[in-house]
Each structure stands twice: as structure tokens, then as C-alpha cells.
Amino acid sequence: MTTVRGEYKVPGGKLVAAEVSEDDGRLAAVRISGDFFLEPDDALERIERALTGLPADSTVAQLTAALREVLDASVTLVGFTAESVAIAVRRALGRATSWRDHTFTIIHEGPQEPVLHAALDQVLAEELAAGRRGPTLRFWEWVEPAVVIGSFQSLRNEVDPDGAARHGITVVRRISGGGAMFMEAGNCITFSLVVPASLVDGLTFEQSYAFLDDWVLGALADVGVAASYAGLNDIASPAGKIAGAAQKRLAGGAVLHHVTMAYDIDAEKMLEVLRIGREKLSDKGTTSANKRVDPVRSQTGIPREAVIDAFTRHFRGRYTTVDGELTEAEINRAEQLVATKFGTPEWTARVP
């Protein structure tokens, strides 16, 4: 029998490694190790015995359930969970993948219209699902200001049409959920990550947000910002919220995950365009319209372009990457989607 190995690093926690051999469709032997903490000592043997003999195609939920049956109140797990052990086992068997199993294409091209960026997110996710593109990290650049609203948000509840018209701001609806993003060129940092569903196999939506943005926390640390994940999809520092993430899982096995980070936003203009109640002002990083939302600029003191460069370097340092670009076919497909979907009043106001 051949022994295979899989690893899972718990976001904010410890590394779990699984060495597994398979025989006749079942887990014949399982060895778990890592830099986690576990009491009592014999709990590790309980974990391994509980997994041995289970079907090799067991899901993370099924493996986790088997572990929880033997992990009673006398067992203390620190820095890891039963789920993280199950994920490591799935990765060892090739049912799930890790960052190191993939080569990521990094794309950072010139400015495009925000509506085209929304369409490109869908196109690249579909291309990955079809096997024509690998995992991709793409940074956005744009010129005209825009508000990008979540797939399920009400247009009239989120956007003041008079304010948008006064400031020449386009409204775009994306395919992922989440909240509205007020975006002016040079004032935010936005990037999209398209990955196979195997990378987040067994993770809940909440877990996958933190997992896919773990590198972002490292990149922020590189530029002097001590950040952590807050709530479901926010990245924050002791000074307040820095960024918000949104995610969409597409049929065919692709995951679209994107982040918008406030670099230096005109809060007064934002409040004239977005219908933000006073209770949400603190969430946006300001208590007055006469301020700027500038957590990245104020906390790093470096230009936006330098922050993006630092992010790119950090990503390259952690994962296998290549430089890439959008193909002509991808751009053409995105332009078609702008004409038939993203640029139409029917889509923009699909939730009036």
C-alpha cells in the first residue's frame, strides 16, 4: 500500500498533517501529526482509530462526524478542530487540494470599465470550471467612479440616484452577494481570486472566506498593518475595518472570491451616493461625512501602487505563480455579457 500525505493550515491556527494509506476503498491506516495542542495524549490514538476503516470517499462532514463520536468533553483541541483533521485526510487522498497543488496566474492590466470587471469575474470563473483557465488572481484598475452592489441588494435601498448622477457614478451589480462597494480610481484596491472548489473542499462559507484571505493578512503585515478577519467577510485592524470580501460558487466547480480594500475614499461623496444609515457609518470607517476613509493609506504611508506591488510579492512568495493576461476570447465574452446582462437596466435593477 502507498502512503499519501495531506496538510491543512487552520487560518489563525495550527498545521494538521495526515498520512493515509488506502486498501480496497477504505482507509487502511491513518497517522495524524502537527504543531497543534491536544490533551490527553491518548486522544491522538482515538482520532486515528476513528478514521481507520472508513470509506476512502467519505466527505469532510462524514469524517468529522466519526471524529466527534470519540472526542468527548474530556478531550481538548487547541489550534485545530475535527474538521481540520478531516480536510487534511481528504487532501491526502486527492479529494481536496491545497494551495501548493496549483499554479496561480497573476493578472494586472490597464484600466477597464467597472461593468466589464464584473463581467470578467463571471467569465474567468466559467473558464476555470470549463478547464480552459487555471486559478487566477486579478487586480482591477478603472477610471470612472462606480458603485458595485451585491447580487441580492435592493437598488433603491442602496443607491441615491440623484447623488450618483451628480457625481457621474455608474451603478454595477455583481454576481456575488454582500454589500455595496464605493469605488473611485486610485482610492481603493480591488482584486478577484478564481479557484477550483477543491481548494475549499469541506470548508463552510465562513471558513472559506478566512482561508482564501489568509495571504491578505500576511501581505498587510508586510506593509505594517496588523489585520485580522472580523465577522463573516470583513478584514479589520485595531483602527477599524479595512476591507470586505464577497464570494460566489458556480456550478461546475469554480469559486469566485473578491476583495475591495479602502485606500483613501471620499466619505462625503460616498454618503451622498450610498444610502448608509448612521448605524452603519462606523462600519464604513467614519463617524462624519467630512472625513476620508483611508485605513490603508494612513496605516501604511505608502502609495497605492506600492501596496499592490507588496501584495503581489507576498502572494508570489507563498504560492507558485506565473504572470498572465486576459485572452481575446475572454474579453470578447465579457463584452457580450456587458451588452446582454451586466450593462442592462434589467440586471442592475433585478432587485429594484
Q: What percent of the chain has pLDDT over 90?
A: 88
Q: How far apart are the C-alpha atoms of 58 and 51, rounded to whole Å?
A: 10
In order of their start, the domains of the chain are: 3-96 (3.30.390.50), 100-348 (3.30.930.10)
For residues 142 and 182, the answer to whether their CB atoms sit within 8 Å is no
Q: How confident is the model at residue 123 (pLDDT cuts 50, 70, 90)?
A: very high
- pLDDT score, position 187: 93
For residues 342 and 173, the answer to whether their CB atoms sit within 8 Å is yes
- pLDDT score, position 240: 87
**Amino acid identity, residue 156?**
R
What is the pTM assigned to this prediction? 0.89
- pLDDT score, position 287: 46
In this structure, the number of other CB atoms found within 10 A of the CB of residue 314 comes to 19
Of residues 251 and 286, more confidence is placed in 251
Instruction: Specify the range with the lowest mean pLDDT, choosing from 154-163, 210-219, 229-238, 255-264.
Output: 229-238
Q: How far apart are the C-alpha atoms of 122 and 277, rounded to whole Å?
A: 31
- pLDDT score, position 182: 94
Q: How far apart are the C-alpha atoms of 205 and 208, rounded to whole Å?
A: 5
Cis peptide before 40 (omega within 30 of 0): yes
Q: What is the mean pLDDT of residues 256-262?
A: 96
For residues 70 and 64, the answer to whether their CB atoms sit within 8 Å is no
Q: What is the mean pLDDT of residues 255-281?
A: 84
**Amino acid identity, residue 128?**
L
Q: What is the mean pLDDT of residues 87-114?
A: 95
Four-residue CA torsion sign, 195, 202, 31, 8: positive
**Tens digit of pLDDT for each residue in 304-317?**
999 999 999 999 99
**Tens digit of pLDDT for each residue in 43-69?**
999 999 999 999 999 999 999 999 999
Q: How far apart are the C-alpha atoms of 225 and 227, rounded to whole Å?
A: 6
Q: How confident is the model at residue 280 (pLDDT cuts 50, 70, 90)?
A: low
Containing H/E element for 266? strand 265-266
- Residue 317, CA distances (Å) to 150, 211, 296, 304 in order: 32, 17, 21, 20
Q: Which three cell numbers stand for residue 316?
A: 508570489
Evaluate if residue 222 carries a pLDDT over 90: yes
Evaluate if residue 281 carries a pLDDT over 90: no
Q: Which three cell numbers stand for residue 173?
A: 451589480
Q: How far apart are the C-alpha atoms of 97 and 79, rounded to whole Å?
A: 21
